[in-house]
Chains A and B, each alone.
Chain A
Amino acid sequence: MLLSKSHRFWIMAIAAALLIAAAMFTLQQMQVFANEETGKVEPETMNLASTGDKVLDEKLHSHNVFFTVADDVKPLITEEEAIQSAKQHRPALAEKAKSISAQFVKYTNTVDGTEERPIWLVTLEGVSVPMRGPVGLEKKEPDYENLKTLIYVDAGTGDVVELVSMGYN
């Protein structure tokens, strides 16, 4: 059966569109595969919670650390209890901090395998742990405009999960 010129045109157009869609789908799948290989999770696939500091967010992501919105669970300990736990963990740092705040989030670390652990993220502004070595070191405090110490407190038990100190400009 012979097709008219206009039918042929539309059939070709639909075939081309299908080919392009298939190619895009394949590329997307390859991208996902590549990400699985490196262990990195694409931030856009997660319901990310910001610390309120965009630079800090990006630096944490570069360390495979992602905080996501925790709106489907409730913490068993209060914000005040979480801050108290962080203060007890590092009393000297807490005393030196310019301010202390807490945020209820889920914590994921794509390298060490931590997945959506509900925590209170306690932020100590303006302080960090001291530098350790190397031979010849003379300065104790890291020399950066921004110093922050983050203490992750388990939202169920109040135990300190880990501590991160950062300095950056």
Chain B
Amino acid sequence: MSKLKRMMFCLAVCCVFLLPTSGAFAATGFYFNGGLQTGNYYGASGNIECDELEDVGNDVSVWVMVAGQSSTEYIQAGWGRHWDQSRNYHFYQYNGDEFYHRETGVASPGSTYSYKVERTGNTWSIYIDGSIEDTVSHSDLGWTAGSAQFFGEVHDSEADQSPGTVSDPVTSGYLRVKSSSGTWSDASFTNTYEDLPHQRNNADEGDDNYEQWDNRYS
């Protein structure tokens, strides 16, 4: 093998191993911005501001959630937008013994909406802006709660704008959790997350509200 060929071979090998870790390429996955509170909760609620999204390359959403012990067990409500949609939509979604997702109407940028998922007895109820949207039997979920979560989420590390801008962050306020005895109280984050370098928030442990934004958007 000539010297030139050997050099080209080495360069190609370097490209294969180094470029994917260089951060120059967008990655699809699940990236979170916000906080959670661990515990066996029977409800989560909050008032979430809806904001304009400049770029949606995959999927962007903001929500409140009660999650189970595994990463595929949850019931949530909030607003979001898939890349092939032109507007933000209210949605609720759950996964457990079955998957169910429903989009009920347009969420307008500049407005703040209340979202709530709540278990009473054997029934979960989902509320958007004060109106009941659905009821789900707890047996259709088939799991026990392990946390209440309050996040903004993107699925493409580069092409999705994480909700909020530096000058106009998205506020998630009046975040509350419902205990298994049925009492609602202010949330108190036990963990906070900024999964991507440009995903920023002002959430601290113990908070029951926070602002989030994407550092790349002024």
Contact = CB atoms under 8 A, between A and B. Distances in A.
Contact of B104 (A63, A162, A167): A162
Interface string B30-51: 1010001000000000000000
| Consensus secondary structure, chain B interface | strand
Interface in A17-32: none
Contacts of A135: 32, 36, 67, 71, 149, 151, 193
B84 A133 contact: no
B185 interface: no
> Interface size bucket, B side?
35 or more
Interface in A96-117: 111-112
Interface residues of A, number: 35
Contacts of A140: 28, 30, 155
A131 B72 contact: yes
Nearest to B34: A135
Interface string B87-126: 0010101010011111111000000000000000000000
B133 A111 contact: yes
Interface stretch (A43-51, A71-79, A87-95): A87-95
A36 B82 CA distance: 38
A41 interface: no
B99 A167 contact: yes
Given A133-B149, A134-B74, A138-B71, A167 B132 contact: no
Contacts of B89: 163
Interface in A126-169: 128-140, 142-144, 162-169
Contact of A132 (B59, B84, B104, B135): B59
B22 interface: no
A133 B137 contact: no
16 contacts: A59-B100, A62-B136, A111-B133, A111-B135, A112-B134, A129-B93, A131-B93, A132-B59, A133-B61, A133-B63, A134-B147, A135-B71, A137-B30, A139-B72, A162-B102, A164-B103
Interface of A: 59, 62-64, 89-93, 111-112, 128-140, 142-144, 162-169
